[in-house]
Amino acid sequence: MGTYAVTGSASGMGKAVVDRLVSEGNVVVGIDLRDADVIADLSAPSGRSAAAAAVIELCGGVLDGAVMAAGLGPAPGRDRPRMIAEVNVLGVIELLEAWQPSLARAERAKVVVFASNATTTVPMVPKRVVRALLEGDVDRAVQRLRLLGKAAPTFAYAASKVAVSHWVRRQAVTPDWAGAGIRLNALAPGAIMTPLLEQQLATPAEARRIKAFPVPIGGFGDANQLAAWVVFMLSDAADFLCGSVVFVDGGSDAWFRATDWPRPVPARHLRRYVARMRSFRQRARSGA
Ligand code: NAI
């Protein structure tokens, strides 16, 4: 049994994860805007730092795992791109950076970050926005997104999930995470029936777009099933899972991207590949 932090614990998949963890006898510290152990607004820097500190205090400085489920969907609105950037990206990265020492203390901690299959199924996500988000420069990301007019929330959402997926893959393999015994992975759901999706389906144009989107097995996913994936990714069975983005999306990613990945290393990346191999060996030799 362990102690887990779950953001977005009051609704949808975050709530389903909390219910499962608690039913298995774990202690859960939930973080949300309401109905949570830690009430905090992750769209504000002060909310993020207060949430990070409150969790560390409540868990006594040792966390067996964290689930980063708080998130905003691509609803219309001028402020939406900024809110998406703050909650979906900084609400993940800043909290996990603050919790890293507590996770390391548990020795076999596991972290699951909610990404989305929007990462691979939304075309032309602006790379510059993703880069700005990864650099924590929300103003620059929002400025670029504004140029996209009405499509800004859709691209903000996809870019936010690409950014956290890239962050997970980059960090997962480093001494601070893999080296500290922490398994860092992401889950990329397709359309799952939760209040977030219900809100999108309430707009007729959005509902038409969602219903027309290719899902080879049909229909929508179930929050409890996704929670079971999360709990599996938090379990000992996932000890060898590191830096993976696990797609659970009814086949949409496979439909659009069947042969895009896994992708063998292309000849033009051979130098980089050899350099990475060398740097890994050097690190292993020096014990870093
Ligand atoms: P949901 O809307 O049911 O739950 C999200 C939770 O995040 C809510 O309890 C909400 O209060 C909380 N939250 C939002 N803004 C916050 C803020 N500023 N501060 C603190 N908490 C805040 O959503 P759902 O569907 O359960 O989504 C969970 C995660 O899965 C999100 O990151 C979402 O982007 C992602 N996802 C959802 C999909 C879906 O179809 N439902 C598909 C792919 C990814």
Q: Which of 7, 11, 83, 215 to mutate to test the pocket of ligand 1 (most atoms within 8 A of CB)?
A: 11
71 C-alpha to center of ligand 1: Å?
4
Average pLDDT over residues 248-258: 98
Ligand 1 site, residue 116, Cβ cutoff 6 A: yes
105 C-alpha to center of ligand 1: Å?
28
Q: What pLDDT digit, counting tens, does each position of 66-77 carry? A: 999 999 999 999
Q: Pull the structure tokens for residue 214.
A: 């290719």
Ligand 1, atom 21, residue with closest C-alpha? 32
> What's the CA gap between 211 and 198, in Å, rounded?
12
Asked whether the predicted pLDDT for residue 42 surpasses 90, the reply is yes
Q: Which residues lie below 8 Å from residue 15, measured CB to CB, with a gap of 6+?
A: 8, 9, 223
Query: Which atom belonging to ligand 1 lies closest to the Cα atom of 70?
Result: 7
Nearest by Cα to 137 from 189, 79, 88, 90: 90
Q: What pLDDT digit, counting tens, does each position of 218-235 carry? A: 999 999 999 999 999 999
Cβ(257)–Cβ(120) below 8 Å = yes
Ligand 1 site, residue 188, Cβ cutoff 6 A: no
Beta strands in 125-257 (DSSP E): 183-189, 192-193, 221-222, 245-248
Q: Looking at the annotation, which residues are catalytic?
A: 157
HSE-CB for 161 with a 13 A CA cutoff: 29
pLDDT of residue 288: 66
Q: What pLDDT digit, counting tens, does each position of 79-99 carry? A: 999 999 999 999 999 999 999
pLDDT of residue 287: 76
- Sheet with 3-7: strands ordered across: 38-39, 27-32, 3-7, 65-68, 110-114, 183-189, 245-248
First-last CA distance in the chain: 31
Residue pointed to by tokens 């009405």: 150
Q: What pLDDT digit, counting tens, does each position of 150-205 carry? A: 999 999 999 999 999 999 999 999 999 999 999 999 999 999 999 999 999 999 98
Q: What pLDDT digit, counting tens, does each position of 126-139 carry? A: 999 999 999 999 99
pLDDT of residue 270: 96
Ligand 1, atom 3, residue with closest C-alpha? 12
Ligand 1 site, residue 12, Cβ cutoff 6 A: yes
Average pLDDT over residues 44-51: 98
